[in-house]
Amino acid sequence: MSTLRSFFGMVMLLATTACAWTYPTYFGDTGLVLVPTAEVVPEATFDFAASYTTVRSDAVGDAKMFAVRADYGVAKNTEFFVFYSNPTDDNLNAIDGFGGGVKLNLVAEDRYSVIPSIGIGVRAIELKRLANLNMVETYAVTSKTIFGRGDMVEEGFAFRLHGGATFTNWSGDASASFIKPFGGVSYENVNGNAFAIDFMPAQKKNGMTYRENALSGVLRRQLSPGFSLEAGVTHPFGMGDNGAFYMGLIYHYFPISLSRY
């Protein structure tokens, strides 16, 4: 928890400006850190993220890895995403995984009414670590601005809540199914900077841990119109004993007509 407290202190110092950008989660879909939001990337828009992180384990030791994600707006309200996790050592706690999925935005948020944004999605992944596991996870999520200023086009900021539920089916060396809630909060500024906190609960059954409780936080700062830097604390894919620091770079590609979205 001391690492997480230090991170939140960093957020308060650095987030003097912090947008209407989209960001890929560790799974690849648009969202916070692990938690998806109801939004999708606009059509013909591409987000790419590469992060360096560790999976912490008191028993096995820390494992280092790169996590690469890509997200593409294949239609007006639909995105397709993929991810790949590449361990940099032979630590048994390292995560060697890949997968992808699709997310649809069913309802766009009306910031001036009670209507939230609503989305549904599915993730399919394979993780190789102490056990070989396959996961298919479907989810429904809603996102809503609870406080904001400006039009989020020329100026403004917004604090938003995100929440939903997952139905997860695990197979491979072990099998189980879970229905779990998730949630998060984000601050977005029109200048491209943001920070977010999210939580995904543990998935445990018959002495097997499929996913640990995962409390994550991230600060994202725009470096240029196409690039953002992120730094935070997370449980990558819900694996490991404790939250670990990570940092990475995000590239946004969008047509000139979508230079603000």
Q: Express each pLDDT in 44-102 by its tens digit.
A: 999 999 999 887 766 666 778 889 999 999 998 999 999 998 877 666 566 788 999 99
Q: What was the pLDDT predicted at 13? A: 34
Residue 215 CA to residue 166 CA, distance in Å, equals 16
Residue 258 three-state SS:
helix
Distance of alpha carbon 213 from alpha carbon 192, whole angstroms: 29
- pLDDT value at 11 more than 50: no
CB atoms within 10 A of CB 168: 18
The CA-CA-CA angle for residues 228, 231, 237, to 5°, reads 110
Say yes or no to pLDDT of 249 above 80.
yes
Largest distance between two CA atoms of the chain? 53
Between CA 99 and CA 246 the distance in angstroms is 20
The reported pTM is: 0.84
Instruction: Kindly indicate the confidence band of residue 133, based on its pLDDT and cuts at 50, 70 and 90.
Output: confident
Out of 7-11, 136-140, 168-172, 207-211, least confident range: 7-11
